[in-house]
Amino acid sequence: GRITWQCICSCGAKANIRGSSLTSGNSKSCGCLRQDFMREKQTTHGKAETKAWYAWQRLRARCFQKGNKAYASYGGRGITVCARWLKFENFYADMGDPPDKVHSIDRINNDVNYEPENCRWATQKQQANNRRSNTWLTAFGKTQTIAQWSDETGIKRAAICQRLARGAS
């Protein structure tokens, strides 16, 4: 016994709406406005599943989840995440998006925690030169990794390693 009208919503969808809902103003859409409202209400930062968000998730996992395969090298040796970065919004405010797809989060000093002053977006090459396992070599008043000396001098990395093994300075 209720009269319904077939209406076309501003989103383009068709919906059958009771006449009383139309005349009272209770119906304003096919339901899409409610969906938009709920989506907006549940969205805190709108950056879920971005490269920055995944980087934040992974750094927390390395520091706090004992089951994580990298935990021993991070949380297991005391590396943690600063209190400010326990909220993604703060991490994102400090770091923003990586410059491009090849950059990932890197700690400048590997013995210090994840915190704004100690982190940067770095390339794989930068990160490879910033590993704890690198051999550092000082020559001509400059300290660099063997790979960096190889790039700078054109001498192959293996040749530098052989010379060091033979006791060359």
pLDDT digits (tens, 9 = 90+) for 73-103: 999 999 999 999 999 999 999 999 999 989 9
Give the integer Cα–Cα distance in Å for 135 and 120: 22
Distances (CA, A) of 98 to 106, 116, 119, 120: 11, 14, 12, 9
Burial 65-87 (b: 16+ CB within 10 A, else e): eeebeebeebbeeebbbbeebee
Contact 88, 47 (CB under 8 A): yes
How high is the pLDDT of residue 63? 96
Structure tokens at 88: 């993604």
Nearest to 94 by CA among 63, 126, 118: 118
pLDDT band at residue 49 under the 50/70/90 scheme: confident
How far from the centroid of its chain's Cα atoms is residue 21's Cα?
47
Distances (CA, A) of 115 to 66, 95, 109: 21, 10, 11
pTM: 0.64
Q: Which residue has the higher pLDDT, 40 or 150?
A: 150
Distances (CA, A) of 136 to 4, 96, 167: 79, 31, 15
